[in-house]
Amino acid sequence: MTNGTIEVSGLSLASATCWGGGDFAGGLAAKRANVFRVVAVAHACGLVAMLAMALLAGEAFPPAADLEWGAAAGIAGAFGIAALYQALAIGRMGVMAPVASVVTGVLPVLVCIRTEGMPDRIQMIGFALALMSIWLVARPNEYVDSHRGLGLAVLAGLMFGLFLVAGKQAGHHGVFWPMVAARLASTGLMLAIVAISPRDPRPLIPVLWPMVFSGRIIKGRPIEVGFECDAKLYREEHPYGP
């Protein structure tokens, strides 16, 4: 295992930890406000933070293709976040979050198999155990309905998988500007959905801090480290350029 692989693994673990905290805050907010309004505000906060980071870091502006992939990642991620927050709001957090997490890995693994070949035996065993865990956490319970919101959790996982696939393509030449494109696309999409949706009388002020917390302080960091992972892997695989 190379130093680059170890560093990428550490960044991935940090991303998962931060994302879990953001999901918790966003799920709390979605219980008391419209989920699309929650995501719109959270991602708008994230957009401001990512733009500030891009300008402060002085990162070179990437090719247009990277920004397009970033925007695609943002759109997929926005639908995924909305689905997950709604699942957390109506279902059991201890079931919805693990199911979404496991399903998230399915699409990237399939794409990897298609483009890079089959993983080794140990990795395949890990994938099988992960799929088995879905049944373990979501199996029927005589006391609690474990299936409530399960479809939304699966949808969220699929959208997050698309986010990761697109994010890999977006992170080849930079980190912050593709994130800006992702947040710009997701914020615009959520605002458009809010504009055409029936008015929700529930106020946003009581859940303002959870939304800001999930969108700026926590949710921005997983996307950053995720794109940074892709950039590091790309530089490791292409040390002399594309």
- CA proximity to 152, closest of 231, 87, 226: 87
Q: How far is 43 from 99, CA to CA, in rounded Å?
A: 23
Whether pLDDT at 239 is above 80? no
Whether pLDDT at 207 is above 70? yes
Q: Which two tokens stand for residue 91?
A: 């279902």
- Please provide the size of the chain in residues: 242
Quote the pLDDT of residue 221: 46
- 221 versus 159: the higher-pLDDT residue is 159
- What's the pLDDT tens digit per position in 26-69? 777 777 888 888 888 888 888 888 898 889 988 889 899 999 99
Q: How far is 232 from 224, CA to CA, in rounded Å?
A: 12
Three-class DSSP labels, 190-207? HHHHHHHCCCCCCCCHHH
- What's the pLDDT tens digit per position in 131-175? 777 767 666 665 555 577 888 999 999 998 998 888 888 877 778
Q: Which band of pLDDT confidence, cut at 50, 70 and 90, is reported for residue 79?
A: very high
- CA proximity to 162, closest of 213, 221, 103: 103
Mean pLDDT of the chain: 77
Residue 234 burial by CB count (10 A; 0-12/13-18/19+): exposed, middle or buried?
middle
pLDDT over 90, % of the chain = 17
Quote the pLDDT of residue 184: 94
CB proximity list for 25: less than 8 A, separation 6 or greater: 210, 211, 213, 214, 218
Quote the pLDDT of residue 216: 54
Inter-CA distances, 37 with 83, 122, 191, 199, 222, Å: 13, 42, 8, 10, 21
CB atoms within 10 A of CB 66: 20
Whether pLDDT at 178 is above 60? yes
DSSP per-residue letters across 69-119: HHHHHHHHHHHHHHHHHHHHHHS-HHHHHHHHHHHHTHHHHHHHHHHH---
As a whole number, mean pLDDT of residues 20-30 equals 71
DSSP per-residue letters across 11-36: HHHHHHHHHHHHHHHHHHHHHHS-HH
Answer whether 76's CB lies under 8 Å from 166's CB. Answer: yes
- What's the pLDDT tens digit per position in 102-140? 888 888 888 888 887 887 788 788 878 877 777 676 666
Does an H or E element contain 67, and which?
helix 64-90
Answer whether 89's CB lies under 8 Å from 33's CB. Answer: no
Q: Is 210 helix (H, G, I), strand (E, B) or coil?
A: helix
Quote the pLDDT of residue 237: 46
Quote the pLDDT of residue 222: 47
